[in-house]
Amino acid sequence: MQVNLRDSWWIREIEIPTRLVLAPMAGVSVQAFRRQGRRFGAGLVCSEMVSCAGIEHRNERTLGYLRVGGDEHPLAIQIFGSEPAVMAEAARMVEAAGADLVDVNFGCPVRKVTKTGAGATLLDDPGRACRIVEAIAEAVSIPVSVKMRRGLEDGSRVCLEVGPRLVEAGASTLTLHPRSAKQMYTGEADHSVTTELVSLVDVPIVASGDITSRARAQTVLATTGAAAVMVGRGAQGNPWALREIVDGDVSEPTREEVAAELILFVRETVRELGERRASGFLKKFYGWYLGRGRFPRPFKQELVQLETTDEVVTRVFAAAPDAAEIVERLEAELPDPGAEILLDRMPISIYGGG
């Protein structure tokens, strides 16, 4: 049965306007990325994960992750940590910042996170995981969501034991990436596990992993009974992938459209992060946007060598002069982000990029 990805759905009292969720990705999911995702069809956008320890110590760079634009709603801010009381306090600040949901990371497989007892490690400590969710649910009035892997080891089914317990503890929705932490992003996501989880709980499940096309999204939604799908890496420098999934629009962007979206993304990121941090952060995006045969490889390498984002914008305009009209139109249509938490220096992920 075909699922209309433009149908809305609900996480408690929060209406999500499409069945597509833009994933939280470390070193990627800045506000500029989230706002772009909304324009291309994402119904729910998520921040990259925020360290609860950083929030506890009022680290200025960490608090920068709590910057919320008025046009981002509905928005989930994701937090990670291992202490229930610290996580609860961080969740209060997430709510105060204006997020619609607080998302808890029980899925990150990266050593920098798991060695602290956070991320996917908590799947092997379900008691602590449940205490964390319960503490957060008691601390805030907004819904609590949890993102998790199937387990730490290949073939693990621990998510099917932990998931229902997290719902009992107060989670209003679960996102499952049915790979093990050990797999990282290798192999295939086993969505038969997603199907089982859907049958065990009475909250909406978001299916994450290998959602690379509209056909795949339709298949996963129809076979698992999940409420929505989550897209991550496929949208990096390629927002048109979101449009294809939601609307079935398979038209390839023109050279000018690609250039225009990149220029807008550069300008919005500089507005958010400042020139010094943005110039380093953006370098990985040049290859993502200009790859897929859209521009020659030497051009991408040339952009990475430029010192300022103004130089990058000038060079991209020179390569695609007709992009100027598109940029002007996009900037005119871009909603005012509205009131935000403004700090002098916005943060960059613990995974680098600036």
- The Cα-based distances of 146 to 50, 106, 142, 283 in angstroms read 14, 7, 13, 31
Nearest to residue 237, comparing CAs of 255, 214, 261, 260?
Answer: 261
Instruction: Report whether 340 contacts 69 (CB < 8 A).
Output: yes
Q: Which residue is catalytic, options 52, 108, 130, 159?
A: 108
Known active-site residue 108: yes
Beta-sheet pairing, 9-11 with 14-16: antiparallel
Measured from the Cβ of residue 1, the count of other Cβ atoms closer than 10 Å reads: 6
Beta strands 14-16 and 44-46: pairing type? unpaired
CB hemisphere CA count around 17 (13 angstroms): 12
Q: Hey, is 21 helix, strand or coil? A: strand
Amino acid (1-letter code) at residue 321: P
Alpha helices, DSSP H only, in 5-75? 31-39, 52-56, 60-63
First to last CA, the chain: 46
- d(CA 316, CA 310) in angstroms, rounded, equals 10
| Long-range contacts, stretch 124-130, CB < 8 angstroms, 24+ apart | 124/151, 124/152, 124/158, 126/158, 126/161, 126/162, 126/165, 128/82, 128/84, 129/162, 129/165, 129/166, 130/165, 130/166, 130/168, 130/169
The 3-class SS string of 163-229 reads HHHHHHHCCCEEEEEEEECCCCCCCCCCHHHHHHHHHHCCCCEEEECCCCCHHHHHHHHHHHCCCEE
Strand partners, 207: 176, 229
Phi, psi of 90 (to 5 degrees): -65, -40
Active-site residue numbers? 108
